[in-house]
Amino acid sequence: MPTANRSIEVPGTTRPGAPFSSAIEIAAGARLLYTAGLVGMKTDGSFDSDIAMQTEQLFQHLTAVLAAAGMRLEDIVQMTTFVTDMSEYSRFSAKRKEFLGDIRPALALVQVTQLASPACKVEVTVVAARAP
C-alpha cells in the first residue's frame, strides 16, 4: 500500500520539464480537501490591478485554507486556474512557481471572459490530499 501521493508521467503526454504532473495517484486512506474558487482579494474587498500581486494574495489565502485543514502546499494534487487574459498567464505562472517550487500537481488552465468581480484577473481551485 503506498504511503504517499504518486506522480504519474507518461512520455509524450506533456512536454519535458513541464511544471506539472500528467496525473497524481492519491495514497490509500488519504484525506481529501476540495477548495472553492480562491481569488487575490485584499482584506478590504479590493483587488490589486496587477495579476502577480493578485496571485501572491491568492496563494496567501490558499496557504491559510490548507493550514486550517492541517495541510500544506505540498498536498495539492490538482489545480485549476481561470484567467481573464491569457497574455498575463506567464506572470501568474512565475508567481505560482515562487510558492510551489518543485511541487507538480496536475494542472488545468481556462481563459474566461470575466470572474465574479470585474477587477479579478485570476481564480484557482485545488484538490489536496494528505497521505496517511
Domains of the chain: 30-130 (3.30.1330.40)
Predicted pLDDT of residue 15:
63
Q: What's the pTM value of the predicted model, to 2 decimals?
A: 0.88
Alpha-carbon span 91 to 14, nearest angstrom: 21
According to DSSP, the residues that pair with 110 across neighbouring strands are 82
- 77-123 residue pLDDT tens: 999 999 999 999 999 999 999 999 999 899 999 999 999 999 999 99
- Predicted confidence (pLDDT) at residue 1 exceeds the cutoff of 90: no
Q: Which three cell numbers stand for residue 42?
A: 485584499
What is the DSSP code string of 44-113?
A: TS-B-SSHHHHHHHHHHHHHHHHHHTT--GGGEEEEEEEES-GGGHHHHHHHHHHHHTT---EEEEEE-S
Q: What is the mean pLDDT of residues 12-18?
A: 65
- 39-76 residue pLDDT tens: 999 999 999 999 999 999 999 999 999 999 999 999 99
